[in-house]
Amino acid sequence: MAKKTVHLAMPKPTSAAAWVAGRDEGGAPMKRFTIDVTEELHTRIKVECSKRHAKMADVIRDLLEREFPK
């Protein structure tokens, strides 16, 4: 039997900035940045996050919060 793909209609933001601005992290405005890491480091992070059932972005945000407290 062939697999069927279901496409849900979701509104698309007009730009990356609009997508980031539309995210709500406890009411705080969000900004996006990109960093380059080795493939090996990326894999280690992804595997560890998977073991913890955690999103990579959440874990990295927590690391940054601890490193750079208010």
* Predicted pLDDT at 70: 92
Q: Where are the domains of the chain?
A: 41-70
pLDDT digits (tens, 9 = 90+) for 11-66: 666 776 665 555 555 778 999 999 999 999 999 999 999 999 999 999 999 999 99
Assessment of whether the complete model's pTM goes beyond 0.75: no
* Predicted pLDDT at 43: 98
| Of residues 25, 23, 37, the one with CA closest to residue 62 | 25
Q: How far apart are CA 65 and CA 26, in angstroms?
A: 14
* Predicted pLDDT at 15: 72
